[in-house]
Structure 1
Amino acid sequence: MRHQQRSNKAILLITICFFFLTSGSAFLTPSPRRCTALQVTERRSCFYRSPVTGKWTPRLELSELVVGQVLEGAVVVQEKLNGKTGPKVWVDCGVGLYKKDSWKIQTAMLRLGNGKASVAAKKAARLRNKKYFPVYVSRIRLENDQLEVTLEPEAPKTPTPSMIRLKDLQPGQELSGIIQRVEDYGLLIHVGANRPGLLHIRRVGDLYQKFVNQADGLKKVGLHKGVQVDVQVISCEKKRLFLDFSESLKQEAERKYKAAAEDDPYAEEAALYAAQQQRQNTESTALVEDDEEDDYDEEEDDDDYDEDREIEDAMGLGRY
């Protein structure tokens, strides 16, 4: 009898302890509604005094900016005129960076160009003395928390046309190109391929029917860097592209000199003499243009001037 009473008491005691423990754990468990109320649901704003209006204005967050956006009230806060990548200043233009539930001021880098140090210093001084000035967003690097701006809006970039493959070019094909380099032996012209083509100085002399003296002579006849010129393909083998003036340019030049010859009976003889002199002066340094002549890849003595090697380097042979 006593043993049964003890068993009943033990069962009752275990039941009471279990109830107390489960009730206590339920009481100690945070209420979901109470936890939600403690969480911050909105990002706090960060204010600054706008130099334009003089009023406290919320800062723009870096990730919300877009390229080309104008920021009106920029002021210089730091400058570095002897940087390795050129002179630059940093401006506060009302932008902030929000990370880890806190704000910090996001300055923007403004490049001052690659001119002389004295010119950059004057630009920085002018900007520093201004109460404020507008800038335009040019680059946003969220991975590095960096912002770049310019003083003028950048022109929209046009899509780059696809490169012409050299093997697709055919002899006689006419192209429009831009002179990239002017050398003593001729012109290196970009025609949209992955390497420039060579228009030899001998062909320039033939077109103008006079002696053209190296790079200075090419510039004197108006062929300098950046000039657009119509050309045709002469040959394209072994990654070497050789060019000549287009047939329309040749015909126009021919008509011009024929008209001049009618006015001057000695003009034709003078032109022939000049062309002969041109060939004689370029004969010793004429460019290799066919497979029967020396190969570009032939190794020569570095102590001697090698026009072929210089042309090869200029045309980018061996870089692909």
Structure 2
Amino acid sequence: MNADDILAVANAQQQATPAPQTGDDSTDADLWPEIRRIIETRMSSQPRDLQREIGPSELGTSCVHCLAAKLAGWPERRRPAWLPFIGTCVHARFEQWFQESEETVFTGPAPEDERRRFVPEMRVTVGHLQGLHAGYDVKGSIDLYDRKTGSTIDWKIVGNTTLTKVKAHGPSQQYRVQASLYGIGLENRGEAVRYSRIYFLPKTKTSLADALPWQTRFDPKPGRWALARAQLLVNLMDCIEQAEGIDVRDSWIHSLPAAGPDGCFQCRSAVWPDQGMPEGFDDKEWTPIPDKWARLASVIEPEYQENQPKQ
């Protein structure tokens, strides 16, 4: 999705809803606010919006601040966003269409769901994170798995800006890590995986001729790196909390930089408590961080390096 488009939508939603264009002066004519409220309430009830534990799509972020805040369980403010919801609707229809496919890859005694060529929204467990208070499996859903080619397929419904960036530089680190983690999840299920594919589908074009397919051989290293980085971050935050308390831990998270050439979209959108969300953090006085903990921020790598040592 296009971050600039989403930010524009979020800002527009804060403005007053314009009066409807109508020739009816009755008080019952202004139905749009009620209709909008119903739509936005349902949009906010989508499973992806309600997710609290970190998932494969978030582990690859280059923003260490966002990663730490999510892992620490900080509350998020997510406004109902129209553009991502369009993508959700496309995913839902694609799931239905590929679920209806009767093509199989082999015949034999295996159960029917293990013979199907196309499996939409396959649930996978990509790893496990263990913290001071609890642990949990990192799970996600692959948009589409193709058994015939051993491919994970991810739909990305994007605008012109993202298409241009992908053409010039390839998919972002976050997308590549997500694809790698899906492959790891497939292997954990005992499925064959050979390719990672991402299909960038144009949101503002009239034809799929403008779609941008991307593929690469499955590489588990980016996914393993992301899991190891997340576990290291959890361990560091636990050490700080045990030694200094939650206030120092939160101050340490607050001190972590937002990443990316234009900063982090989520941070700029005031998603997190330390970015203006009134959840007890708005007037917070941040506790000073002892130098020994402040120096540890540098060990968390924002970017994956191709020549990472084997995990």
Q: TM-score range by the shorter chain?
A: under 0.3
Q: Which has the larger radius of gyration?
A: 1
Higher helix share: 2
TM-score by length of 2: 0.19
Higher strand share: 1
TM-score by length of 1: 0.19
